């Protein structure tokens, strides 16, 4: 009897979906053919939102030597650049569009080199996945928005972040006229804004930095006022690579403060050796999921409310050249960042009136700008704003949200947990949907390892394995997850 073909559908063709396909194609198989359906709403395969930009000012926020997309080979991207005759320093921050080319090349190569495997690309939105119990062959059925149906044995959800929506109620008139830009990453979204005099950006994170640099490119463009409740702006990367090292982080209390104290103590220690806080923050990355889990739900909620903003600006940093440019524009008043809440937006001729309130103040501040651009980030509550596909899986009990509602509940290997807590053998997730469970889940470092682990499980049907440590810290013993001993 011949071994049946295994059919895997991947929903989402950003970096996560593409790397899931790469790792599936590269995974050794000793029996049976493999068919992969890679489905993306935009029809872009390998770039997604992060790497879809062609603006050379939009660079990676991780040094080249740590952006490899093959599990166990963080230096692979750096090597790939050299092979193409475009060598860069290990610590270089390369334009994100180049990284998209790398992921696409990996996918094309994996496709060419895989034996007895086929990859089909589909442009369309998956709106539903139904499991046909008792159907032994390809029991999952995916429905696309245009009515097309695809059958699969396993499905990997690589949907990217939840849609954050508008940060405040926006009058329809402002949307229709383009005075309010809901998605700065949409093709051509910033074209008109470059000719404005004054623009207000909602959000002060890395997306705001990208948008502000694009608007002010070549000394032209509007004055940019960026606001967020906290007003914190990403810190800058050092010009040299950070040193990754182990240190003791106490987790037995399940409290945030002892962890913060250990971080500060380590910063003091490494400072005496000529390093700084960046080395400590970067060194925490492989153990962050274990620290996050050790906190428990109540402390995780407190972290989100009290510490997240501070963590984010130290963890997600500006490349040095980006920071130089950004600060130079701040110095001449072209970019202003501030702590402010937007109370309301009101059309005013062909401009917009924005009512702002400084946190803690009672009086409102009124500013008039040509445009408002939303850089407020991803959605944070799946239970309130699930896209149709996830709403269907939740309603059917095939999935459940994590305790915080940031994404889906998954096993450490990425299998979805059903409403009753049973791990699925057919449905998996990679990327932002795992953030509530793991906290560190959206960077390429995690995506490559998660992709490999899910691919391995799928190909060796039924097996479950531990996710390997990122190679940078392979030397760290995979000891008790709650204790990270000093080197």
Ligand X SMILES: Cc1cc2nc3c(=O)[nH]c(=O)nc-3n(C[C@H](O)[C@H](O)[C@H](O)COP(=O)(O)OP(=O)(O)OC[C@H]3O[C@@H](n4cnc5c(N)ncnc54)[C@H](O)[C@@H]3O)c2cc1C
Asked if 46 is part of the footprint of ligand X (rule: CB under 6 A), the reply reads: no
Query: Which member of 9, 17, 233, 300 binds ligand X (CB under 6 A)?
Result: 17
Q: Which residue in 427, 442, 453, 459 binds ligand X (CB under 6 A)?
A: 442
Strand partners, 51: none
Enumerate residues 6+ apart whose C-beta is below 8 A from 373: 181, 184, 190, 193, 199, 200, 201, 202, 211
Q: Does 389 bind ligand X (CB under 6 A)?
A: yes
Selected range binding ligand X among 9-17, 71-79, 332-340, 405-413, rule: CB under 6 A: 9-17
Closer residue to ligand X, CB minimum distance, 102 or 247 = 102
330 binds ligand X (CB under 6 A): no
Tell whether residue 158 is a contact of ligand X (CB under 6 A): yes
Neighbours of 14 (CB within 10 A): 28
Report the distance separating Cα 446 and Cα 62, nearest Å: 13
Can residue 126 be called a binding residue for ligand X (CB under 6 A)?
yes
Q: Angle, nearest 10°, between helix axes 256-271 and 288-302?
A: 130
Residue 322 engages ligand X in binding (rule: CB under 6 A) = no
Pick 206 or 417: Cβ nearer ligand X? 206
**Does 385 engage in binding with ligand X (CB under 6 A)?**
no
Is residue 302 a contact point for ligand X (CB under 6 A)?
no
3-class secondary structure, 46: coil
Which of 8, 9, 10, 11 is in the footprint of ligand X by CB under 6 A? 11
Q: From the list 6, 8, 10, 12, which residue makes contact with ligand X (rule: CB under 6 A)?
A: 12
Q: 407 or 412, CB closer to ligand X?
A: 407
Handedness of CA 228, 232, 238, 243 (dihedral sign): negative
Task: Please state, in angstroms and rounded to a whole number, the distance separating the CA atoms of residues 433 and 79.
Answer: 30
Beta bridge partners of 192: none
CB of 413 to ligand X, least distance (A): 17
Tokens standing for 464? 């479950």
Residues 348 and 368: their CA atoms lie apart, in Å, by: 8
The 218-237 contact track toward ligand X, x by CB under 6 A, reads: --------------------
The reply on whether position 48 binds ligand X by CB under 6 A is: yes
Q: Is residue 63 a contact residue for ligand X (CB under 6 A)?
A: no
Kindly state the smallest distance separating residue 346's Cβ from ligand X, in Å: 30
Of 34, 166, 172, 49, which Cα lies nearest the Cα of 99? 49
Q: CA dist 326 to 49, 86, 195, 241, Å?
A: 22, 26, 19, 21
Report the nearest approach of ligand X to the CB of residue 483 (Å).
Answer: 27
Tell me if 443 contacts ligand X by CB under 6 A: yes
Q: Does 444 bind ligand X (CB under 6 A)?
A: yes
As a whole number of angstroms, the distance between CA 142 and CA 11 comes to: 9
22 binds ligand X (CB under 6 A): no
Contact with ligand X (CB under 6 A): which of 5, 29, 33, 41? Answer: 41
14 binds ligand X (CB under 6 A): yes
Between residue 256 and residue 295, which ones bind ligand X under the rule CB under 6 A? none
Q: How far apart are the first and last CA of the chain?
A: 54
Closest separation in Å from C-beta 306 to ligand X: 24
Q: Is 49 in the site for ligand X (CB under 6 A)?
A: yes
CA-wise closest residue to 221 among 212, 232, 210: 212
What does the alpha-carbon distance between residue 402 and residue 409 come to, in Å, rounded to a whole number? 4
The one among 431, 435, 439, 458 contacting ligand X by CB under 6 A? 431
Q: Which of 68, 160, 205, 221 is the binder for ligand X (CB under 6 A)?
A: 160
Please name which of 70, 73, 125, 79 lies closest in space to residue 103, comparing C-alpha atoms.
70
| Interaction between residue 319 and ligand X (CB under 6 A) | no
Q: Quick one: which segment of 39-47, 294-302, 356-364, 452-460 binds ligand X (CB under 6 A)?
A: 39-47
Whether the Cβ atoms of residue 243 and residue 478 lie closer than 8 Å to each other: no
Contact 278, 238 (CB under 8 A): yes
CA distances from 227 to 127, 210, 256, 386 (A): 35, 15, 28, 27
The count of chain residues that interact with ligand X, using the rule CB under 6 A, is 32
Q: How far apart are CA 387 and CA 378, in angstroms?
A: 13
Q: Per CB under 6 A, does 374 bind ligand X?
A: no
By C-beta, is 57 or 256 nearer to ligand X? 57
Residues that bind ligand X in the complex, under the rule CB under 6 A = 11-17, 39-42, 44, 48-51, 60-62, 125-126, 158-161, 207, 389, 431-432, 442-444
């Amino acid at each position: 009897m011949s071994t049946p073909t295994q059919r895997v559908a991947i929903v989402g063709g950003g970096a996560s979906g593409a790397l899931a396909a790469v790792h599936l194609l590269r995974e050794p198989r000793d029996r049976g053919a493999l068919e992969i359906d890679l489905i993306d709403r935009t029809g872009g395969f390998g770039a997604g939102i992060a790497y879809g930009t062609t603006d050379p000012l939009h660079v990676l926020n991780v040094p080249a030597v740590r952006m490899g997309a093959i599990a166990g080979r963080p230096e692979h991207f750096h090597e790939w650049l050299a092979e193409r005759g475009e060598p860069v320093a290990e610590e270089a921050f390369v334009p994100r569009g180049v990284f998209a080319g790398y992921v696409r090349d990996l996918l094309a190569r994996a496709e060419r080199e895989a034996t007895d495997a086929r990859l089909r690309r589909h442009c369309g939105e998956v709106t539903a996945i139904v499991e046909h119990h008792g159907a032994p062959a390809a029991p999952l059925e995916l429905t696309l928005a245009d009515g097309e149906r695809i059958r699969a044995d396993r499905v990997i959800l690589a949907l990217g972040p939840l849609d954050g929506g508008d940060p405040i109620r926006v009058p329809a008139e402002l949307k229709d006229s383009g005075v309010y830009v809901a998605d700065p990453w949409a093709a051509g979204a910033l074209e008109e804004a470059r000719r404005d005099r004054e623009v207000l950006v909602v959000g002060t994170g890395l997306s705001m930095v990208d948008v502000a640099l694009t608007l002010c490119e070549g000394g032209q463009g509007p004055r940019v006022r960026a606001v967020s409740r906290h007003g914190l702006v990403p810190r800058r990367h050092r010009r040299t690579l950070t040193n990754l090292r182990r240190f003791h982080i106490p987790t037995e209390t399940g409290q945030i403060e002892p962890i913060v104290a250990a971080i500060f103590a380590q910063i003091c220690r490494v400072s005496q050796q000529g390093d700084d806080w960046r080395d400590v923050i970067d060194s925490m990355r492989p153990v962050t999921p274990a620290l996050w889990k050790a906190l428990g739900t109540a402390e995780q909620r407190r972290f989100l409310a009290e510490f997240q903003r501070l963590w984010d600006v130290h963890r997600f940093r500006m490349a040095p050249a980006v920071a130089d440019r950004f600060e130079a524009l701040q110095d001449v008043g072209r970019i202003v960042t501030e702590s402010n809440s937007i109370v309301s937006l009101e059309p005013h001729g062909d401009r917009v009136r924005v009512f702002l309130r400084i946190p803690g103040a009672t009086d409102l501040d009124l500013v008039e700008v040509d445009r408002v651009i939303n850089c407020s980030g991803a959605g944070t509550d799946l239970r309130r704003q699930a896209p149709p596909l996830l709403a269907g899986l939740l309603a059917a009990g095939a999935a459940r949200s994590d305790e915080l509602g940031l994404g889906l509940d998954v096993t450490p290997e990425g299998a979805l947990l059903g409403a009753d807590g049973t791990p699925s053998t057919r449905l998996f997730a990679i990327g932002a949907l795992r953030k509530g469970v793991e906290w560190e889940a959206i960077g390429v470092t995690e995506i490559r390892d998660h992709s490999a682990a899910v691919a391995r499980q799928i190909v060796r049907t039924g097996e479950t394995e531990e996710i390997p440590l990122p190679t940078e810290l392979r030397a760290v013993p995979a000891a008790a997850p709650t204790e990270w001993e000093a080197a």
